[in-house]
């Protein structure tokens, strides 16, 4: 991946965070009530959520590369990813039980898992069936880890706002990665052919 493509992914993710934060806040206000922040604060939060999603994405790419170097068997690696997902969702459920104002401790884990399953399905359809578990792992584990700062707050509307924006940004990055890499591979093939 070239620097130009990395910049494209970075700025489009930040722009997506800026656009989706107000939309997600309208949804949160409609479902749960006001998160208690101004429109300007929501826009700045969208910038921050986009940057956090970008950092989480590149951290995942490095982690995935290192983990594949250590764990050569793809079936063992995918099984470990499923176990890690189950652990993270259980941990999120336990944290949600301590939050006040939540509709139920299962809501947040189910929202993240549901969006993750849909995004992973689209990723597998666009690339290969083997990408389903890694895509689901990224959508679930990376989103929860990126959302840790909001999980420490005692405001479920703010938690849901951050999680929704992170899910959208993470799905965008995941769906763009193979397109950016395929374009690079196509350019190399074109340059080799006379």
CB-based contact 124:135 (threshold 8 Å): yes
CA dihedral 56, 3, 127, 19 (to 10 degrees): 60
- The segments of the chain whose pLDDT lies below 50 read 184-194
pLDDT of residue 2: 81
Total tally of structural domains belonging to the chain: 1
pLDDT of residue 188: 43
What's the predicted TM-score (pTM) here? 0.87
């Amino acid at each position: 991946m070239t620097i130009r493509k990395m910049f494209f992914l970075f700025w489009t993710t930040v722009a997506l965070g800026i656009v989706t934060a107000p939309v997600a806040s309208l949804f949160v206000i409609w479902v749960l009530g006001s998160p208690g922040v101004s429109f300007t604060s929501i826009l700045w939060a969208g910038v921050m959520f986009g940057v956090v999603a970008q950092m989480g994405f590149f951290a995942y790419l490095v982690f995935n590369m290192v983990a594949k170097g250590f764990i050569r068997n793809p079936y063992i690696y995918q099984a470990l990813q499923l176990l890690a997902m189950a652990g993270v969702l259980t941990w999120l459920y336990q944290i949600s039980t301590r939050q006040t104002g939540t509709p139920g401790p299962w809501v947040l884990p189910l929202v993240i898992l549901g969006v993750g399953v849909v995004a992973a399905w689209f990723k597998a359809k666009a690339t290969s069936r083997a990408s389903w578990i890694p895509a689901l792992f990224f959508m679930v584990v990376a989103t929860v880890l990126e959302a840790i700062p909001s999980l420490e707050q005692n405001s479920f509307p703010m938690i849901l706002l951050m999680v929704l924006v992170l899910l959208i940004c993470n799905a965008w990055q995941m769906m763009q990665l193979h397109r950016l890499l395929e374009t690079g591979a196509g350019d190399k093939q074109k340059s080799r052919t006379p």
